[in-house]
Chains A and B, each alone.
Chain A
């Protein structure tokens, strides 16, 4: 069945270092979304990618959707302590969502 794999599971970085999380689907997706969940909070929508090869930026965050629409990445430049949390991708296909397992980011000041 449909699966969305996300790596790494955990990432510890020093403040100012970059961070990347990767999402891979076993099948082609119609779109992919990214969410952030702060510790003790609930997932909050960040962005949606729809087109093959699409790249979107939000300040220090860069989101990419692969050419085959089966993989995606989120890159954070120069992390800050406010970036701490778990980042989830969610692939959308045939009217269903498939959340990745999440990457937990810890940023040391």
Chain B
């Protein structure tokens, strides 16, 4: 059974720092992995999607990596800004057909960027 873990649960850093959020999963048979951002009381915004055959994806100041063999993904945020404050969620889509490719979610990392 796939399990997704995100550490740390919360992180507070000064503005301008580069930071890394971690996501680990127990079953390497994944179809893809997606990083989302959620602002308080709002829906989820997709940040980056990495297919199982890819090693990384980049969008602006964000870079996500994927290492299936070790069951890990990282989200790197460069030059953090107060507007980056949000909860970041990692979700893994299983590649097992009998799972119907359901998304399995981590509990999220709450990020606070201090001005």
| A, B bound | no
Taking beta carbons and an 8 Å cutoff, which residues of A are in contact with B?
Answer: none
Taking beta carbons and an 8 Å cutoff, which residues of B are in contact with A?
Answer: none
